[in-house]
Amino acid sequence: MTSTKNDVKALREAARIMREDPLRTGSLIRFPDYGQVVMTGDMHGHHRNFERLQRYADLEHARARHVVLHEIIHAEHTGPIGDDSSVELIVRAARWKIDFPEQVHFIQSNHEMAQFTGKEICKGGRIVNYDFDCSLQRIYGNGADDVHEALREFIAAFPLAARTANRVFLSHSLPNLADLATFDTTIIDRPLAHDDYREGGHAYVMVWGRYHPPQLLEKLARAFDVDFFICGHQPQEFGSAVLHDRLIILASDHNHGTFLPFDLKKSYTIEGITRLIRPLAAIA
């Protein structure tokens, strides 16, 4: 059986590192104007793509490279209840953060937030939170409650977004147009509060939004002082999509999954940065 004590310790240590991240202001990571960022899409327990990402990143030798992770949990699977391997993947990701504290970064997503708050998510006729909890029990036995509490501390430490000096905004998603009138764009400048996570709260609407017409993206670009956005959240059969010359959507959770590495010093057009999208399957 997996070592409960060691995994609890790892999750809490990774949470502490995130809370004390020198690149973090409030709920926003501000990347420097040098090096590289590797942005991912939803991972959903895809161990093979995670391993490919680690090989590409080669963080031990690429010390100015940053990796942004989100939506690691709630694997797509058709196995029995309690067979969600994303439990193990999120612990692996936490250990990667400990190994490379200045280079591995997490941002908040709707699935991680739902696991933290207890909001049920149904996919394919299954309550994925229930599958996840059953997997915790299967893997950790009597220690499952301790791991669950450490996971909640870990997820609560996630910032909401990241911004680069060359004007790119990285987040799991963006608010819907209907929520924009009441959405507090300054949420990224402060720590998240309890009400931000509740249904309808500012963090909640940011990670759950799916309707992003041009006028919304234009307003958010001005509010966040960026040129365009890179997100996940919306499934992409072929790994990526571009909306309205403002929003790139990535998916990293299947065999056509992608990632996007880009330099922090260069200026990009949407066409230029889109050409940098790479398939994870191409990583040997």
Token readout for 46 is: 């895809």
Is there a domain that residue 112 lies in?
A: yes
Q: Mind listing the pLDDT tens digit for each residue in 115-161?
A: 999 999 998 788 999 999 999 999 999 999 999 999 999 999 999 99
Give residue-wise pLDDT tens across range 6-48: 999 999 999 999 999 999 999 999 999 999 999 999 999 999 9
- Residue 82 predicted with pLDDT over 90: no
Q: Alpha-carbon dihedral of residues 90, 60, 98, 68, nearest 10 degrees?
A: -50
Per-residue pLDDT reduced to its tens digit, 229-254: 999 999 999 999 999 999 999 999 99
Q: Is residue 205 part of a domain?
A: yes
In a domain, 229, yes or no: yes
- Structure-block tokens of residue 181: 């009138």
* Residue 40: CATH number of its domain: 3.60.21.10
* pLDDT at residue 1 greater than cutoff 60: no
- CA-wise closest residue to 41 among 50, 32, 51: 50
In this predicted structure, what is the pLDDT of residue 2? 61
Q: d(Cα 93, Cα 37) in Å, to the nearest integer?
A: 17
Q: Above pLDDT 70, what percent of the chain?
A: 98
pLDDT at 83: 84
Question: Which residue from 38, 150, 48, 146 is spatially nearest to 91, judged by alpha carbons?
Answer: 150
* Residue 140, in any domain of the structure: no
At 275-284, the pLDDT tens digits run: 999 999 999 8
Q: What is the pLDDT of residue 81?
A: 72
Q: Is residue 134 part of a domain?
A: no
Structural domain span for residue 243: 24-79+103-120+158-282
- Count other C-beta atoms under 10 Å from residue 283's C-beta: 16
Q: Is residue 150 part of a domain?
A: no
Confidence category of residue 177, pLDDT binned at 50, 70, 90 = very high
Calculate mean pLDDT across residues 194-201. 96
Residue 171 is predicted with a pLDDT of 98
With contact defined as beta carbons under 8 Å apart, do 40 and 68 qualify?
yes
Length of the chain: 284
Q: Report, as an integer, the average pLDDT of 203-219.
A: 97
Residues 244-265 have a mean pLDDT of 98
237: in domain: yes
Domain count, the chain: 1
**To the nearest whole number, what is the mean pLDDT of the chain?**
96
